[in-house]
Structure 1
Amino acid sequence: MAPQRQAYLYGIGAVLLWSTVATAFKLSLRYLDTLQLLLYSCLSSILVMLGILAVQGKLSAIWPLLKTDYRRWLLLGLLNPFGYYLILFQAYDLLPAQQAQPLNYTWGITLALLSIPLLGQRISRWEIIACLISYLGVVVIATRGDLLALQFDSPLGVALALVSTVIWALYWILNTKNQHDPVVSLLLCFCFSLPFILATTLIFSSVVVSDWRGLAGAFYVGVFEMGFAFVLWLSAMKRATNTAKVSNLIFLSPFLSLYLIATFVGESIHPATYAGLLLILAGVVLQSRLGGAKAG
C-alpha cells in the first residue's frame, strides 16, 4: 500500500477516535468526578503506552531518556495530563458537550498567540483577523448566538475551556525542540504526572468508584483518546508524503463529534453551535495557511 494511502487510513482512524471523546467525557462524568476520571484514564493510558512500546521493542529507551532531564518531564507532566485534562474535564462537567468541544478547538489559535512572546514569532494583520474570527465563534457558541445579551450558560466553564487551550499550547511550545521518541516522551509525562493526580484525588475526592460504567468510560478515554489516537496520528504524519492533506482530516472531527453528542448524550445541537464552530475552524484554517506561507 502506498505510504500516502496508509497515512490517510491512520489519520482517519485517529479522527474517528477523537470524534468520540467529547461523548465519552460527558457519559463518564455521569458516574465519576473529574479527578477520578483523570486518575483512571491516566492509569489506562500508561498501560496502553507501555504495551505499544513493548510491541515496538522500545521499552529499553525509557530509562536513558528518563535520566537525560527528569525536571523537563516533571514540568511537562504537570502541564499534560495533570493541568490540561483536569481543567478540560471540569469544563465538560460545567458546560454542554456541544459548547466545550468546539471551544477546545481554539488551541491552535492560542498556540499562534503564545508563540509571539515565547518563541519570538511575529504575527501579521491577517493572522490577527483570523484569531478574531475564531474567538467570535467562541462568543457565538457560549452565548448561543445572542451576542448582544452576552449571557453565558456557565462563564466559569467557558473560562476553563479556554484556559485548557493555553495549557495545551504551552505544552506543545515546550515540546518544539523535543527530538525524542514521542510515545516514550508522552509516557514519561504521564508517569511523572501520576503521583500528583493520585495525591490530589486522595485529598479532594476518592479512589473508590461505585459504578463500573465510570471505570469503563475512564478506560475508554485513557486507551483511545490519550493512547491509540495519539499513536495513529503520529503514524499518519510519519507516513504522509503530503502532510497538509492528512492534517485536513482533523477538521472532520468536530462535526462527527456533534453528531455523536446528539445521538448518545442526548443534547439538542443549537444552530449557534454550528455557526460558531464554522467561525472557529475558519479562523484556524486561515491562521494555519498564513503561518505556513510565512514559514515557507
Structure 2
Amino acid sequence: MNATLAGIGALLLWAFLALLSKLAAGLPPLQLTAMSFFVAALTGLGVVAARGELGALRQGPLAWAHGVGGLFGYHALYFAALAYAPAVEANLLNYLWPLLIVLLSAPILGLRLGPRRLAGVVLGFAGCALLLGGGARFPAEAWFGFLCAIGCAFVWALYSVTARRLDRVPTGAVAGFCGGAAVLAALAHLVFEPSVMPDARQALAALLLGLGPVGAAFFLWDLGMKRGDPRLLGTLAYGVPVASTLLLIAAGAGAFTWNVALALALVAGGGWLAATAR
C-alpha cells in the first residue's frame, strides 16, 4: 500500500507539469527537458550519495536501456507529436498510457483485471476525453504526429509495466537514468533547436520541474510500479489532466466550466471503482 501511495505522489507532482511549463514559456522544449533532467539527476545523485547507495548505479545494459529509453523516449516522442500534430489531439492520444498500463498489466504481469477495474479505467478515459478532446479533429496530414503521440503512450505504458520485471533494480538507479536522459535531450536540443538563455522566471521553472514533475515523480513512480498496484495507479492517472486543469484555473489561466466538473466526476468515479475492486 505504501508503494501505491508513492505512485499516487508521482501523479500529484505531474499535475503541476502544465503550470510549471507555462512558467517556463519561451524555452525550447528539448532545452527545458535537458535542464530539468539535469536538475533531477544532480538532486537524485546527491540523495543517493548521502545515503551511501552509489552502487545502485552499477546496473546492466538492460536496466540502462529500459530506464534511459523510457524517460527520454517518451519525452522525445511527445514533443515530436506536439510539433507535427494539433496539440489537443496529440495530448488526447498521449493519455492512452493510463489505459494501456491497466490493459498490459494482465498479459505482462499476470494481474487480473475484472469488470470493476475495466469500468473504472473506461470512465477515467471518458473524463479525460471530455476535458481534452473538445472539438478534436484528426486531419490525415498530421498522421506522423498522431503516430508519435500513440508511440509515446505505448513507450510510457511499457516502461511503467515492465519496471516490475526489473524489481531488483533499486529506485536509486533512476538518478543515473535521469542523467542519461539529460545528455540525450541536450544533444537533441543542439541538433534541432536554437539555444535560449533563460531568465530568472524560466530558470526557476526548470529548477522546480527538475525537483518535482521531472524529478522526484520518476522516483516515486518507479517505486509505485515495482511494489504497488499498477492497475489502480493506471486508473488514477486520469486524475492528472483534471488536477492540472484545476491548478491552471486556480492560477487564473482558465475557467471552471461544466465539462471540467463532469470530467472530475467521471475520473473520481472511475478511481473509486478501481480502488474498491477486489
Q: Name the TM tier (shorter chain).
A: 0.7 to 0.9
Q: Is 1:220 aligned to 2:208, yes or no?
A: yes
Matches within 5 A, 1:165-244: 165-180=153-168, 182-229=170-217
- Which deviates the most, 182-191 or 32-41? 182-191
TM-superposed CA distance for 1:112, in Å, is 1.1
Q: Aligned residue for 1:76?
A: 67
Q: Aligned residue for 1:31?
A: 26
TM-superposed CA distance for 1:73, in Å, is 1.0
Contact kept in structure 2, 1:35 and 1:205, CA below 8 Å: yes
TM-superposed CA distance for 1:223, in Å, is 1.4
Counterpart-to-counterpart distance in 2, 1:129 and 1:249: 13
Over the matched positions of the two proteins, sequence identity in percent amounts to: 27
**Distance 1:49-1:265 versus aligned 2 partners, 3 A rule:** farther
Counterpart-to-counterpart distance in 2, 1:121 and 1:108: 15
Counterpart-to-counterpart distance in 2, 1:282 and 1:253: 14
Correspondence for 2:17 among 3, 17, 21: 21
Counterpart-to-counterpart distance in 1, 2:8 and 2:116: 31
Deviations 1:206-242 (A, max 9, x none): 34435443332122111122334555788999xxxxx
TM-superposed CA distance for 1:91, in Å, is 6.8
Counterpart-to-counterpart distance in 2, 1:121 and 1:236: 15
TM-score by length of 1: 0.69
TM-superposed CA distance for 1:42, in Å, is 0.8
Q: Aligned residue for 1:240?
A: none
TM-superposed CA distance for 1:95, in Å, is 4.4
Q: Aligned residue for 2:56?
A: 61
> How many aligned positions are there?
271
Q: Aligned residue for 1:109?
A: 99
**Distance 1:106-1:177 versus aligned 2 partners, 3 A rule:** same
Contact kept in structure 2, 1:108 and 1:169, CA below 8 Å: yes
Q: Aligned residue for 2:43?
A: 48
> Which structure's CA Rg is the greater one?
1
- Across the aligned residues of Structure 1 and Structure 2, the Cα RMSD in angstroms comes to 4.5
State the secondary structure of the residue aligned to 1:267.
coil
Counterpart-to-counterpart distance in 1, 2:78 and 2:17: 12
Counterpart-to-counterpart distance in 2, 1:255 and 1:139: 11
Q: Aligned residue for 2:245?
A: 258
- Which deviates the most, 12-21 or 262-271? 12-21
Amino acid at match of 1:178: L
